[in-house]
Amino acid sequence: MIRCHETQEEPDSFLEHHQTSSPKALHRCITTLVGQTSSYISSLTLAGKRLYTGSNDGVVRLWNASTLETLAEASSSGGDVITGERGGGGAVKSLVILADKLFTAHQDQKIRVWKINYVVEEEEVGDKKYMHLATMPTISDRFAKCLMPKNQVEIRRHKKASWVHHVDAVSGLALSRDGTILYSVSWDRTLKIWRTTDFKCLESITNAHDDAINAVELSENGDIYTGSSDHRIKVWRKNVNEENDKKNKNKKHSLVATFSEHNSGINALALSCYNERSLLHSGGSDGSILVWERDEEGGDITVVGVLRGHRESVLCLAVISDILCSGSADKKVRLWKCSATDFSCLALLEGHRGPVKCLAGAIRDSGTQSETSYYIYSGGLDSQIKVWQVLVPTL
């Protein structure tokens, strides 16, 4: 078991040291970004120099990650850029980007697709940096499925809906490596598979878990990992013989493994690869983070480390190179070293006044060969996005 020992630190200091078994990491908060409303930050993702943030009012904001200025806003209640107007889709739970498309998962059980006009972004002219392309499931998909009784599933007693619908908040999204497939998970306990070319729902795995599904991640080999409030991680795999096996005619993915080592609900998952080692990180409601490793043949997964340091639920995880970032309901962000033998805590980032809900980051040029510079973006229930610089000595 690996523990991170806290140190007493001055929150206003420019750079702070952390006494750990790894080389000391220095960090500072560069700035704090605040949107035009008091809504909390529910999701964020980084794409090059663009930082996308989603909030619980249904609005997606685009920031220039270099200048840290807001460039645009898009509301789930309309297709045009709407500045300062709140959307009607509820909290934006997840964001993923595929080329010039932005997929957003919402509290209102829907997935929305946006066209990104990169030319407008660069030239900063016009008023349509976003264009609403579709809402999933699409009208045509819903209409086609509702005509046949066999496509209706019971969502609660005496109430049915077509299987293409999520019937509770869409909590997570993940893209296949080639970008042709979008995976979505929901508090309705389903895993759904969508085609990104026409936004059609191809498959729905009902009762994938016994409780709400909170996270989904996709591995390099195409395996899908789902984490749930039922304390379990499940692994799903596409059936390679689906065309030849009549039994799998309508079942394109199957459950291949279930892991029950967590003692609490699982809120976040993240995958990393270090020196050809494939690692899975899972954050639980008890504040622990389990580190899993798959064997060389791609078979069994075992727990190789337990990271303890957070005093409340781990709500989000993000991997940047060989650094794992974790955000918690204890209002703190921790950075962990993930190497062959070292899972120690590198830094403790304090400053949020509410639980940390989402994280993203990237490596930035530090100008020296003796250290690596990481930029970390954290969003929380305090309605703030904090931008941190962390300098980690190069071994």
Q: What percent of the chain has a predicted confidence (pLDDT) above 90? A: 57
Chain segment 87-127, per-residue pLDDT in tens: 567 899 999 999 999 999 999 999 999 988 765 555 454 44
Torsion angle of C-alpha atoms 217, 56, 47, 390, degrees rounded to 10: -90
Asked whether the predicted pLDDT for residue 148 surpasses 60, the reply is no
Q: What radius of gyration, in Å, describes the C-alpha atoms of the chain?
A: 21
CA distances from residue 50 to 39, 306, 360 in whole angstroms, order as listed: 21, 33, 11
CA atoms within 13 A on the CB side of 132: 19
Q: What average pLDDT does range 345-370 have in this prediction? A: 90
User: How confident is residue 7, by pLDDT bands cut at 50, 70 and 90?
Assistant: very low
- The pLDDT assigned to 43 comes to 96
Q: Range with the lowest mean pLDDT among 24-28, 97-101, 298-302, 352-356? A: 298-302
User: How confident is residue 389, by pLDDT bands cut at 50, 70 and 90?
Assistant: very high
Token code pair at residue 74: 């898009």
**Nearest of 215, 212, 217, 235 to residue 227 by alpha carbon:** 215
Q: What average pLDDT does range 142-159 have in this prediction? A: 54
Are 191 and 183 in contact by the 8 Å Cβ rule? The answer is yes
**Nearest of 273, 183, 264, 181 to residue 226 by alpha carbon:** 183
Rounded Cα gap, residues 258 and 42, in angstroms:
28
User: How confident is residue 168, by pLDDT bands cut at 50, 70 and 90?
Assistant: very high
Q: In which residue are the tokens 């309309």 written?
A: 78
User: How confident is residue 154, by pLDDT bands cut at 50, 70 and 90?
Assistant: low
Q: How far is CA 310 from the centre of its chain?
A: 19
- The pLDDT assigned to 110 comes to 95
Token code pair at residue 377: 């973006």
CA distances from residue 8 to 17, 23, 222, 377 in whole angstroms, order as listed: 10, 18, 43, 23
- The pLDDT assigned to 213 comes to 99
- The pLDDT assigned to 307 comes to 95
The H or E element spanning position 365 is none
**Nearest of 25, 8, 26, 29 to residue 344 by alpha carbon:** 25
Chain segment 216-259, per-residue pLDDT in tens: 999 988 999 999 999 999 999 999 875 544 555 567 899 999 99
- The pLDDT assigned to 174 comes to 98
Q: What average pLDDT does range 125-131 have in this prediction? A: 59
Residues 122-155, buried b or exposed e (16+ Cβ, 10 A)?
eeeeeeebbebebbbbbeebbeebeeeeebeeeb
Rounded Cα gap, residues 337 and 356, in angstroms:
20
Token code pair at residue 12: 């206003």
Residue 118 three-state SS: helix
Write down all domains in the chain, each with its CATH number in brackets: 2-393 (2.130.10.10)
Q: Model-level pTM?
A: 0.86
Chain segment 189-216, per-residue pLDDT in tens: 999 999 999 999 999 999 999 999 999 9
Partners of 317 in the beta sheet? 326
**Strand-strand pairing, 2-3 and 301-308:** parallel
**Nearest of 352, 346, 347, 302 to residue 328 by alpha carbon:** 352
Rounded Cα gap, residues 95 and 45, in angstroms:
6
Torsion angle of C-alpha atoms 119, 121, 124, 130, degrees rounded to 10: 100
Q: What average pLDDT does range 261-286 have in this prediction? A: 92
Rounded Cα gap, residues 26 and 20, in angstroms:
12
- Taking all residues of the chain, what is their mean pLDDT, rounded to a whole number? 82
Q: What average pLDDT does range 360-366 have in this prediction? A: 86
- The pLDDT assigned to 298 comes to 57
